């Protein structure tokens, strides 16, 4: 099986120095036995430093590799992995091969690094030839667009509502959910920076502190119940000259505060904040009008909606 390994850095591509500091090391070897392996390195960086220029390089590298590979494995840092995986999934659209991200909590020189298990899981999973963009973490395979941001004090990833793609035990793969990607849109081969203001609610939030000049849109997160202070937010929306997208609800319980959001606020439920941020980024690159963008945002593309 011909597999392309794309190395992008992250802890999985680091070494720990004598001073205890973990730093990038391009010389780090990653072994995937039993495959016809082609290794590429479009960039090499800690994931907290990754931005749109890196996404653009990654999309181009994946599209080039996909032309003659049966699967692609991408090594990446954990900090921003939900964003990179989502951007790639939305930018590619329909894929015909498995593309699997792998990260690690420690450098691979340490025997108990999580990356060892995740690499084995990825190696077993790609043999199913399940198409799409995925993340291998431990024994689980997640859909790239459902991954929740890694939380402090935890060394594993979770999917929204625990809706994962597959579980791997002793190299035996159990597919739990299959997703067909939307074929409507071709790959977005060029990604350019867009100005998205990401606001996370907190008590006594002061919307006057935000300078909205030059922003393409606003992504506003919510509390865990899909709520925010609608009185302050509605007043803020009146002064905005760019679209506001509200994310975080599950479409179930609807509190009066959520029901009271102004009509200028576009509420998009049943999707993670990271996935919607990335869908906005790709959509702003794809389309030139707000109408086209909004239609795209509400359309299911690759399993990002959970209901």
| pLDDT tens readout for residues 257-304 | 888 999 999 999 999 999 999 999 999 999 999 999 999 999 999 999
Average pLDDT value for the chain: 94
The predicted model scores a pTM of: 0.95
Residue 28's pLDDT is 80
Strands 140-143 and 132-137, sheet pairing: antiparallel
Residue 294, helix vs strand vs coil = helix
Cβ contacts of 31 within 8 Å, gap of 6 or more: none
Looking up tokens 């939307």 gives 182
Q: Which of 140-144, 180-184, 280-284 has the lowest mean pLDDT?
A: 180-184
pLDDT at 155 over 80: no
The model's pLDDT over 203-245, given as tens digits with 9 standing for 90+, comes to 999 999 999 999 999 999 999 889 999 999 999 999 898 999 9
User: Is residue 251 pLDDT above 80, yes or no?
Assistant: no
For the ranges 31-35, 62-66, 121-125, 168-172, which has the lowest average pLDDT? 31-35
What is each CA distance from 100 to 3, 86, 112, 119, 144, in whole angstroms?
11, 12, 21, 10, 9
Mean pLDDT along residues 98-111: 96
Of residues 263, 259, 272, 261, the one with CA closest to residue 302: 272
Which residues have C-beta within 8 Å of that of residue 197, sequence separation ≥ 6? 210, 212, 215, 217, 218, 219
If one counts every other C-beta atom within 10 angstroms of the C-beta of residue 231, the result is 10
Q: 76 and 103 in contact (C-beta within 8 Å)?
A: yes
Split at pLDDT 50, 70, 90, the class of 150 is low
């Amino acid at each position: 099986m011909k597999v392309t390994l794309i190395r992008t850095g992250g802890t999985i591509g680091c070494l720990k120095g004598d001073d205890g500091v973990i730093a990038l090391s391009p010389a780090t070897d990653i072994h995937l036995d039993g495959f016809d392996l082609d290794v590429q390195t479009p960039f090499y960086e800690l994931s907290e430093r990754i931005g749109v220029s890196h996404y653009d390089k990654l999309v181009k590298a994946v599209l080039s590799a996909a032309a003659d590979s049966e699967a692609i494995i991408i090594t990446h840092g954990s900090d921003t992995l939900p964003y990179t995986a989502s951007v790639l999934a939305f930018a590619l659209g329909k894929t015909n091969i498995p593309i699997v991200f792998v990260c690690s909590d420690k450098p691979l020189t340490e025997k108990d690094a999580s990356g060892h298990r995740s690499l084995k899981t990825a190696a077993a999973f790609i043999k199913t030839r399940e198409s799409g963009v995925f993340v291998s973490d431990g024994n689980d395979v997640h859909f790239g667009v459902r991954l929740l941001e890694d939380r402090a004090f935890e060394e594993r990833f979770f999917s929204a509502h625990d809706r994962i793609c597959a579980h791997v035990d002793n190299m035996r793969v159990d597919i739990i959910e299959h997703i067909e990607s939307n074929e409507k849109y071709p790959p977005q081969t060029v990604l350019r920076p867009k100005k998205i203001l990401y606001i996370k609610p907190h008590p006594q939030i002061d919307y006057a502190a935000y300078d909205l000049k030059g922003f393409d849109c606003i992504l506003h997160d919510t509390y865990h119940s899909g709520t925010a202070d609608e009185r302050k937010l509605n007043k803020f929306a009146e002064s905005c000259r760019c679209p506001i997208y509200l994310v975080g609800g599950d479409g179930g319980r609807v509190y009066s505060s959520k029901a009271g959001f102004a009509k200028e606020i576009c509420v998009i439920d049943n999707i993670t904040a990271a996935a919607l941020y990335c869908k906005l980024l790709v959509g702003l690159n794809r389309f030139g009008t707000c109408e086209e963008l909004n239609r795209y945002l509400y359309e299911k593309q690759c399993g990002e909606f959970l209901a």
